[in-house]
Amino acid sequence: MKKVLSMLLAGALTASTLVGCGGSEPAPAAEAPSAPEEKAEAPAETPEEAPDAAAEEAPAEGATITVAAIETAYGSQMWTDVCAAFTAQTGINVELITDKNLEDVIGPSMQAGDYPDVIHLATGREKALTETFIKDQNIVDITDVLSMTVPGESAKVSDKIAGGFTETSLTNPYGDGKTYLAPMFYSPCGLFYNAGLFEEKGWEVPTTWDEMWALGDAAAADGIALFTYPTTGYFDAFFYALMYSVGGADFFDQATNYGEGVWDTAEAKTCFEIVSKLAGYTEKTTPAQANDQDFTKNQQLILDNKALFMPNGTWIVGEMAEAPRADGFKWGMTALPAVTAGGDGYSYTWFEQAWIPGGAAHQDEAKQFIAFLYSDAACEIFAGAGAIQPVLNIAGKLEGDNQMFYSIYDKGAKAAMGNFAAYDSATVGVSNREVWFDPVNSLVSGNMTEQEWIDGIKAANDQMRANLIQ
């Protein structure tokens, strides 16, 4: 149900308690998100980009901005509380719109020229509203927000946001060195396992793929498979991290932009070999259960000690909170192993985005609101609902499993960010998931060879490159 709240707040805000809360992300991923187009011409400077100092120190008296936020498993109350805190801090009123189908709610009014001032709606959604605004160059440059002081604090926004989050195609889709989308609620992804079982068996978590294969052989002797996955959709984050660990950012960028001949490289060969070998170590019931109705049965394999590892995100804890489990079960999470000893292990990081449409009527106030999203007050409210902002030293403020999950980068894992570039899918006729990830089911079952998988990727890659959205 649409929730429209007009908040003219002068009262006190009830503080939310900061707690570790997993499982508030929607699951499972039905489609690997598509990245915004990479090299489109940068939008022209908007006439309302006022100096940040003026925006910070002299907000329009009694101004009201409209904030439209997608309602996910985190719920909408956190947005109500954050908007209230923003009003109390700045005197700027907020009309909040939240809905699970936000595109349907705000779409008609925007067609009539009535735009929200801030929109929280990530790329990668089926209706691709955010991608449409990016393609139409109808999104405001918010680079100046990074140099703004967070309302109510002395720190600048750039001092709060963790490194790397504003240096990706997900925040700068035009490749012009500017920031257009603010990074929001992030979740490290990796391989989840039963840490209690590893303690019981005296096993070490593998740091290389050679160690992974050796562990798989040892586990097989105990009747335990090395690997499972909820659905093939979960291979998106897995494959992105794998590409980074094999060939670094350069190979990742070439691959995700469908570079000519990229899948004939030594790096690609290594990726294919690892996934194909892993298919042979996968629990054989997995493909039959890898669908939107039965995926929890594959996740249950981890809880029942029938498989060691599965790719997933931090939401898994809440999602399986009521599921039975083996005695001594404890969640563990690790980055993908390095390809060679001493190499880098990567954890892919999902994050959402907030942005200002070009038609927003109150862009200066909107920038203040985005700056406030990184305040300690806002981060605490969001975290209380399980939504973790990409700010520095956040892990130390979390509790329980969340502290362990979000400290993965503090323990040496590298962050992988970005995804496949957007192309005209109607013309090509297939999705990234159908080409790269869905065939894993057939690799596990033996209905497809590695070479057949590779041949399909190469053919689709050429079509996707020819139909990139510019």
What's the pLDDT band for 24 if we cut at 50, 70, 90?
Answer: very low
SS3 of 318, please? Answer: helix
At 322-372, the pLDDT tens digits run: 999 999 999 999 999 999 999 999 999 989 999 999 999 999 999 999 999
- Residue 61, pLDDT score: 57
Share of the chain above pLDDT 90, in %: 69
- Hey, what amino acid is at 63? A
pLDDT value of residue 19 = 30
Q: Residue 470 pLDDT > 70, yes or no?
A: no
Is the CATH code 3.40.190.10 the one for domain 3-187+350-398? yes
pLDDT at 103: 96
- Tokens matching residue 60: 């329009």
Contact 348, 238 (CB under 8 A): yes
The answer to whether 181 touches 139, Cβ cutoff 8 Å, is: yes
The one-letter code for the residue type at 145 is V
User: Which tens digits make up the pLDDT trace of 27-71?
Assistant: 333 333 333 333 333 444 443 443 444 344 445 557 999 999 999
Query: Please, are residues 383 and 430 in contact by the beta-carbon 8 Å criterion?
Result: no
Show contacts of 111-115: CB within 8 Å, 24+ apart. Answer: 113/359, 115/357, 115/358, 115/359, 115/360, 115/361
CB atoms within 10 A of CB 39: 14
Cα–Cα distance between 238 and 437 in angstroms, integer?
10
* Residue 5 in this model has a pLDDT that exceeds 80: no
Res 60: pLDDT: 56
CA distance 117 to 153: 23
| Residue 263: CB atoms within 10 Å | 21
> Residue 383: what pLDDT?
92
The structural domains of the chain, with segments of one domain joined by +, span 3-187+350-398, 189-348+422-466
What pLDDT is recorded for position 152? Answer: 97
Closest CA to 372 of 91, 72, 114: 91
Per-residue pLDDT tens over the stretch 401-425: 888 888 888 788 888 988 888 788 8
HSE on the CB side for 312, CA within 13 Å?
A: 32
The CB density around residue 150, as the number of other CB atoms within 10 Å, is: 24
Tell me whether residue 30 is exposed, middle or buried, using C-beta atoms within 10 angstroms of its C-beta: 0 to 12, 13 to 18, 19 or more: exposed
3-state secondary structure of 184: strand
- The Cα 385–Cα 77 span in angstroms is 8
Q: What is the pLDDT of residue 397?
A: 83
**20/413: higher pLDDT:** 413
* Residue 414: predicted pLDDT: 87
Region 432-455: mean pLDDT is 97
Tens of pLDDT, residues 177-193:
999 999 999 989 999 99
* Residue closest to 324 by CA, chosen among 304, 340, 341: 304
Global confidence as pTM: 0.72
Average pLDDT, the chain: 86
Same fold, 3-187+350-398 and 189-348+422-466: yes
pLDDT at 313 over 70: yes
Residue 1, pLDDT above cutoff 50 = no
pLDDT for the residue numbered 44 = 40
Name the token pair of 341: 């000893």
pLDDT band (50, 70, 90) for residue 10:
very low
Q: Give the pLDDT score at 335.
A: 95
Which CATH number is correct for 189-348+422-466, 3.40.1160.10, 3.30.70.890, 3.40.190.10, 3.40.50.620?
3.40.190.10
127 confidence band (pLDDT: 50, 70, 90): confident
DSSP H or E stretch at residue 446: none
pLDDT band at residue 74 under the 50/70/90 scheme: confident
Residues composing the chain = 470
Distance of alpha carbon 282 from alpha carbon 441, whole angstroms? 10
Copy the structure tokens of residue 152: 């109510």
Per-residue pLDDT band at 392 (split at 50, 70, 90) = confident
CA angle 120, 406, 89 (to 5 degrees): 45
